[in-house]
Amino acid sequence: MIPYGKHQIDQEDLAAVIDVLQNQLLTQGQQVPVFESALKNYCGAAHATAVNSGTSALHIACLALNVAEGDLVWTSPNSFVASANCARYCGAQIDFVDIDPITRNLSVEALAQKLEKAKQANRLPKAIIMVHFAGMSCDMRAIHALTAPLGIALIEDASHALGGRYLDKPVGGCQFSDVCILSFHPVKSITTAEGGAVLTNSATLAEKLRLFASHGITRAADLMDVESEGPWYYQQIALGYNYRLSDLHAALGVSQLRRLDSFIAKRRELVQIYREKLAGLPLVLPLTSSDSAWHLFTVELRQHDRSEIFARLQKAGIGVNVHYIPIHLQPYYRKLGFRPGDFPYAEAYYQNALTLPLYPGLSVDNQQYVIDTLISILG
């Protein structure tokens, strides 16, 4: 089966992990700080905190921004459930803003309208989680212009977008957001097996993120409410979690990050080939973008039944997928009161969406097989 996404591991990755196993601390050693520093340099942010998943990153991002019971958080329905769950972990209420059917990202126009209504009802969100769907950044400058005057915090869920750019800068620099989170799950731009990170330019937020990622415990004298009792002394000053990344995973991340640009370049090449060779088929292709990190190549079927095409491609050994089942239609969210029809653009998009295989190791022959099979089914 040709998968829809896959990591790529080379000899240097293996050597980096083995070196940690043989010669270094397995956790709380040097690799995590090295990885954090490489991430913040790559993305152009002042601080990076590595954690054990993108989901953990979202959770501590919400905590650091004081999202709590009684608060409201908004996000896009066209995302993985973690983009909404993180607000629920904090006891906050979640609501969604429908997508723009062209970019498939949260619609700036829909957001402007929803903010206007929320202002009148005196029920503004505490934070908005912007998901850069398939690797293409949301229009963060426009979003920030809407939310900044209202004091609403912005979290970028850049799980798809590491290696992508926005307004001539790398995604992750937090130019128009409070924090930006990354995921290093194996299908993402780079992998640490499981892993994630939070980027920010705020020293205050960075300090809180670090606390929440490690039990709420500090060894910094200036954060303690009494004089340190000795070199062994630490204080727990908040309720935190063990969300730390291990040094094994971090070493893999450091090694992977060196090849990030080449991974993205390969994804772009493959996208260009899809674009040229699928042009004549009854498909809506994703928007052209030289800035996208191209996490996913997602098409919309125009004349065919998605279930049937999905089944035929799977049968041909092509691991197509669907991104995403709108979050609000999940049973958990329906129980909170969401209904079909609430976010019609996300629902309509979902009905016809199909994700084709795309990853740096996808061979020319395998991609050609995917293209030929699609042409024979749809042509």
Ligand X SMILES: *Cc1c(COP(=O)(O)O)cnc(C)c1O
Contact set with ligand X (CB under 6 A): 53-55, 79-80, 82-83, 131, 157, 159-160, 183, 185, 196
Distance CA 359, CA 191 (A): 12
Report strand pairing: 72-75 vs 127-131: parallel
C-alpha span between 89 and 87 (Å, rounded): 5
Question: What minimum distance in Å lies between the beta carbon of 218 and ligand X?
Answer: 25
Tell me the helices (H) and strands (E) count for the chain, helix number first: 13, 14
- Minimal distance in Å, beta carbon 320 to ligand X? 17
- Please report how close the Cβ of residue 83 comes to ligand X at its closest, in angstroms: 5
The residue (of 83 and 367) whose beta carbon lies closer to ligand X is 83
Nearer to ligand X, 53 or 218 (CB): 53
Q: Give min distance, CB of 89 to ligand X, in A.
A: 12
Residue nearest to ligand X (CB): 54
Report the nearest approach of ligand X to the CB of residue 322 (Å): 13
Strand bridging mode 217-218 / 196-200:
unpaired
**153-191 b/e (C-beta count within 10 Å ≥ 16 → b):** bbbbbbbbbbbbbbeeebbbbbbbbbbbbbbbbbbbbbb
Q: How far is the CB of 227 from ligand X (least distance, A)?
A: 39
The burial of 325, by beta-carbon neighbours within 10 Å (0-12 exposed, 13-18 middle, 19 or more buried), is given as middle
Residue 89 burial (10 A CB sphere; 0-12, 13-18, 19+): middle
Q: What DSSP letter does each residue of 191-207 carry, written as one string?
A: --SS-EEEEES-HHHHH
**Residue 366 CA from chain centroid, whole number:** 27
SS3 assignment, position 180 = strand
Q: Measured from the CB atom, is 159 or 255 closer to ligand X?
A: 159
- 82 or 278: whose CB is closer to ligand X? 82
Which one, 4 or 80, has the nearer CB to ligand X? Answer: 80
Closest approach, Cβ 237 to ligand X, in A, equals 26
| Residue nearer to ligand X on the CB measure, 54 or 164 | 54
Both tokens of 87, joined, read 């607000």
CB of 224 to ligand X, least distance (A): 32
- C-alpha 117 chain-centroid distance: 28
Q: Which is nearer to ligand X, 103 or 183 (CB)?
A: 183
Shortest Å, Cβ 156 to ligand X:
10
Residues 260 and 224: their CA atoms lie apart, in Å, by 40
Tell me the two tokens of residue 361.
Answer: 């190791």
Give CA–CA dist 323/39, Å, rounded.
27
DSSP single-letter state for residue 53: -
Q: Which is nearer to ligand X, 100 or 157 (CB)?
A: 157
One-character DSSP codes across 230-253: STT--EE-S---B-BPPHHHHHHH
Q: Which is nearer to ligand X, 53 or 355 (CB)?
A: 53
